[in-house]
């Protein structure tokens, strides 16, 4: 991630720069001590994340964010502040601030906040890569009806995994292989154990199961971020209860917000069963 910092205190800037680079959170591509002179530089650099102080002499951070949003709506903003005014905080969120970092600067908080924003950016990029699902591909017009049905179901499964930002995970292919096996053998996941099906499909069933669990956990995290950003999002509403236990999705959301010490748990059988139901 490319990060730009705006603060009228050079000590704060250098402290943040050290934290970011020492913890591999990204690269500081620039900084400014003057809020009224940085807009054009930020527009030219086009960073992924802008850390901006709320209260500065020439111009407050909310005004800066409003100006930058007119230039580039894809940047994410983290507000640096020691202000507890609900009115100012509300205005900051309305302007497009994603998270706050409180002063005095705390390494753990900075690390967690930047990691959270980075995850949101990655998830958004994944969603943008999703293509429309075509019912038929020209290359597959000669398939017989049974092959065509199997192909279409697998393609729908891939689309769901894409929507959840899971397609880049190693375990995604394993999930697809399991679903294809179930489709071709006309079985459901509750008729055959996860260990048994992994043993059939892989010479190392434990590794396969671990990859699947990690991929499903990644999907849970992405879904939780989506719910935090927009609780009424169609993807969140559709999959939060059909592929996961909703209570675990809520636990993951609370974990991301820092309200819980443990993340949500996943159930492989429920996830795969939910996938199969979704493609019927």
Report pLDDT digits (tens) over 115-174.
Answer: 989 888 887 777 665 544 444 444 445 544 445 557 788 888 988 998 898 888 889 999
pLDDT in tens, 182-201: 888 888 888 888 888 999 99
Residue 23, SS3?
coil
Residue ranges covered by each domain of the chain? 2-128, 138-278
| Cα–Cα nearest to 270, from 196, 212, 184, 185 | 212
Q: Over pLDDT 90: what percentage of the chain?
A: 42
How many C-beta atoms lie closer than 10 Å to residue 129's C-beta? 10
Q: Report residue 81: phi and psi, to 5°.
A: -155, 155
Flag the least confident range among 74-78, 150-154, 188-192, 203-207: 150-154
CA 261 vs. chain centroid, Å, equals 19
Q: Which residue has the higher pLDDT, 120 or 17?
A: 17
Residue 140 in contact with residue 148, Cβ under 8 Å? Answer: yes
What is the Cα gyration radius of the chain? 23
Strand-by-strand arrangement of the 2-6 sheet = 27-32, 2-6, 49-53, 76-81, 97-102
Structure token digits, residue 132:
């429309």
Report the run of H or E that residue 250 belongs to, with start and end.
helix 246-256
Is residue 37 pLDDT above 50, yes or no?
Answer: yes
Integer Cα distance of 45 and 266 in angstroms: 40
Correct CATH for 2-128 of 3.90.1150.10, 3.40.1000.10, 3.30.70.20, 3.40.50.2300: 3.40.50.2300
């Amino acid at each position: 991630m490319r990060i730009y910092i705006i603060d009228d205190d050079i000590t704060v800037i250098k402290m943040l720069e050290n934290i970011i680079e020492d913890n591999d959170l990204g690269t500081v591509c620039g900084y400014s001590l003057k809020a009224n002179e940085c807009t054009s530089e930020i527009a030219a650099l086009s960073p992924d994340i802008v850390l901006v102080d709320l209260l500065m002499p020439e111009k407050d951070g909310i005004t800066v964010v409003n100006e930058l949003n007119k230039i580039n709506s894809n940047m994410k903003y983290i507000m640096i502040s020691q202000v507890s005014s609900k009115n100012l905080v509300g205005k900051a969120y309305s302007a497009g601030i994603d998270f706050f970092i409180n002063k005095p600067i705390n390494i753990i908080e900075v690390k967690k906040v930047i990691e959270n924003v980075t995850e949101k950016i990655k998830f958004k990029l994944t969603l943008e890569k999703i293509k429309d699902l075509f019912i038929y591909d020209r290359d597959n017009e000669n398939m017989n009806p049974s092959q065509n049905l199997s192909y279409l179901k697998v393609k729908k499964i891939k689309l769901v995994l894409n929507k959840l930002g899971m397609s880049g995970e190693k375990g995604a292919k394993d999930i697809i292989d399991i679903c294809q096996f179930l489709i071709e053998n006309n079985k459901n996941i509750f008729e055959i154990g996860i260990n048994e099906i992994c043993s059939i499909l892989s010479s190392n069933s434990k590794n396969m199961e671990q990859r699947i669990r990690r991929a499903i956990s990644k999907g849970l995290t992405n879904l939780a971020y989506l719910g935090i950003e927009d609780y009424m999002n169609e993807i969140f509403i559709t999959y939060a209860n059909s592929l996961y236990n909703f209570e675990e999705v809520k636990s993951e959301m609370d974990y991301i917000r820092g309200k819980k010490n443990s993340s949500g748990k996943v159930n492989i059988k429920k996830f795969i069963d939910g996938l199969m139901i979704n493609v019927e």
